[in-house]
Structure formats: structure tokens, C-alpha cells
Amino acid sequence: MNAIETEGLTRYYGDLCAVDNLNLSVDNEIFALLGPNGSGKTTTVLMLTTLLAPTKGRASVCGHDVQREGEKVRRALSYVPQDMAVDIKLTGRENVRFFADLYGVPHAADRVDEALAVMELTDRADDLIRTYSGGMRRRLELAQALVHEPSVLFLDEPTIGLDVAARKRIWEHIRALRRKGMTVFVTTHYMDEADQFCDRVGIISQGRIAALGTPAELKARLMKDVITARVEGPFTPPEVDGVAFVGRSGDEVSFTAGNGREALPLLADALKNNGCVVRSMALREPTLDDVFLQAVGRQEEPQGFAFDKFRIMLRRRK
């Protein structure tokens, strides 16, 4: 049994298809749903957390159907939405205790202390949230979400609006949860974070999965490494295994290679043997950004901005 399973999951807002026939299985990993704004990430999470009914298809969390067994699903998961919602007039401890009470956690006081300690908030636990930084508020939300030890954690844009250090810290915490066996489902549009911290990513565009796999797989599948070199003298394209010549512009020549790091010295030798002087070489690995752009295409809105549909969508989302 996978922690999260969807089968033909579909959601329409009016005649706008926000999520289109989504099939996913996620288990015991950090799974990131990547996509541009309005691609259906949040809608998917809302359906999986029982906050929105699917139009078609089904989904289950820990073996419980999201539509028929809502309460069991909600018992198994925790959800941290995108907008940071913590009570600023309450202390950190009170905020977490509130959630412990709502979950009906036994030995609530101890569990609250534990959750605060895991998120490194013990020192500030009795301060009002008003005095917390953005990163601390996010960690407090994670502490709220962890207080009942869920099997599945849903995080909608967990690092949005945070500075670099705070982001890194949040991700380290997420990694630690994953090591303890929790399944983490995140949505984000920060490619570098997904690349660095997630086990598997699904790129979603217009409600459909455009690419699915580990970041390394996706990068390997969709693109090769890019090598550029500045050369002087007579140039003839060298024959090196696994390297393809792409083109020349001025004194710059470019190649693609399956494994750029290994191809780099071979290519340098081959160029020298062919009689040209190599001034500089650069190797660029494809990033998830490249994969994303290749999978999704440039995000130009083809038929202008559909205000009506957008309004319907906003109204439903509130």
C-alpha cells in the first residue's frame, strides 16, 4: 500500500480543467510537485487533503479513500498550506498545544515539548508569535503539523518568502522527517530546491504530469551536459565518443556530451591534436530548470489571459 495513490484524479472549475487525469503513487520519499503558477499543484494538494472534492477519479492516503473516508485520511496526514497562518497573539507553545488538543493527542504537554524541540523552538516556545521571524513561523507550523506524528505530510510551497538560510533549515528538517519514515509531499516552484532535496519530482503543467522521476533521471533523460570552448587556429570538429558537435559562433564552439566531466579532458586533447589552441572550456550541467523548460515549454499564455476563468478559480480557492 502506497502512502499516496491517485487514479485518474481530475478537477474542473467550471469548464477550466485544473487537474487532468492525474495518476501518481508516492511512498516513503520526499515527492515534489513542480509547476508554474496555476498549473494545478495546490488543487491536487487540496483534493488529497480532503479539502476539495475531485470531479472525477479517486485518490487515497494510507489506503483510505479521500472522499469516503475523510476522517481517517485526516487522521493520517498533516497539511501546511501556503499562507502562513499562526496566531500571532499566542505563544509558540500555545499554538502547538492548540493543534495537539484538536488531534486529541495523548500526553499532549510532552508531545508539544517534543515537537517544539524537533523544530528547535524550545528557547522561544513561550514568546508570542508576533516576535517570531518568518522562518521561525514556518518551523512552528511544522511543529503543529508534527505534533500527532502523521504518516504523510503535505507542504504547499514550504519555503516561499523565506531567506536562503531559513529555506535551507526548513529543508534539513524535512529531510530529517523523511529519514524517520514519513512520506512528504511538497509543491514548489523553486527548481533548485527540488533538485537538491527531493527524492522524486513530478513536473505538472496545465493539470497534467509532463515529467516524472528522480531529479538525476529527469536531467539525464531530457538533456545532456553542455560543453563550450573558446578556440583559436584552424578548427575541425574532433571525433570523441559520446560527444556531439553542436555548432560554432565566432571563436566559441559548443558540444553536448552524455557525461560532461569525463568528456572534458578527452575533448581538450582531441582539439589540441587537431591543431587548435584551446583558450578556455566551460561545462554546464543541465539544471532542473532546463528539464522544466523542455517539459513545460516557455510559459507564454497562448490565447491571452482568461479573466473569467481566473476569477472562477480564485473564488473556488479561497
Asked if residue 12 binds other proteins (CB under 8 A), the reply is: no
Question: Which grid coordinates are listed for 258?
Answer: 552524455
Which one of 27, 53, 265, 285 is in contact with other proteins (CB under 8 A)?
Answer: 53
Q: Identify which range of 9-17, 88-96, 160-168, 190-198 contacts other proteins by CB under 8 A.
A: 88-96
Say how far residue 275 (Cα) sits from the centre of its chain.
Answer: 47
Burial 164-203 (b: 16+ CB within 10 A, else e): eebbbbbbebbeebbeeebbbbbbbbbbebbbebbebbbb
- Which residue is associated with the grid cell 533538485? 195
**Would you say 298 or 318 has its CB closer to other proteins?**
318
Which one of 14, 27, 85, 134 is in contact with other proteins (CB under 8 A)?
Answer: 85
Binding mask 139-158 for other proteins (x = CB under 8 A): -----x---------x----
Q: How far is CA 282 from CA 188, 244, 318, in A?
A: 30, 15, 48
Q: Which amino acid is at 156?
A: D
Asked if residue 101 binds other proteins (CB under 8 A), the reply is: yes
**Smallest distance from other proteins to CB 105, Å:** 10
Asked if residue 87 binds other proteins (CB under 8 A), the reply is: yes
Asked if residue 187 binds other proteins (CB under 8 A), the reply is: no
Residues 31-50 that bind other proteins (CB under 8 A): 49-50
Angle between helix 307-317 and helix 41-48 axes, rounded to 10 deg: 30
**Smallest distance from other proteins to CB 173, Å:** 18
Which one of 90, 220, 246, 293 is in contact with other proteins (CB under 8 A)?
Answer: 90
Residues 156-185 that bind other proteins (CB under 8 A): none
Sequential DSSP letters for 279-292: EEEEEEPPPHHHHH
Largest CA distance in the chain: 78
**Would you say 93 or 178 has its CB closer to other proteins?**
93
Which one of 94, 199, 262, 290 is in contact with other proteins (CB under 8 A)?
Answer: 94
Please say whether the beta carbons of 183 and 1 come within 8 A: no
**Smallest distance from other proteins to CB 169, Å:** 21
**Would you say 89 or 180 has its CB closer to other proteins?**
89
Q: Identify which range of 2-10, 97-105, 249-257, 287-295 contacts other proteins by CB under 8 A.
A: 97-105
Which residues fall within 8 angstroms of residue 98, CB to CB, at 6 or more apart? 87, 90, 144
Q: Identify which range of 15-23, 83-91, 161-169, 177-185 contacts other proteins by CB under 8 A.
A: 83-91
Is the C-alpha dihedral spanning 162, 164, 166, 167 positive or negative? Answer: positive
H/E stretch holding 8 reads: strand 4-13
Is the C-alpha dihedral spanning 135, 201, 226, 281 positive or negative? Answer: positive
Asked if residue 106 binds other proteins (CB under 8 A), the reply is: no
Question: Which grid coordinates are listed for 20?
Answer: 487532468
Asked if residue 51 binds other proteins (CB under 8 A), the reply is: yes
Which one of 84, 212, 266, 312 is in contact with other proteins (CB under 8 A)?
Answer: 84
Q: How far is CA 17 from CA 7, 46, 309, 313, 317, in A?
A: 16, 15, 10, 10, 14
Residues 55-74 that bind other proteins (CB under 8 A): 71, 74
Residue ranges binding other proteins (CB under 8 A): 49-53, 71, 74-75, 77-85, 87, 89-90, 94, 98-99, 101-104, 128, 144, 154, 318
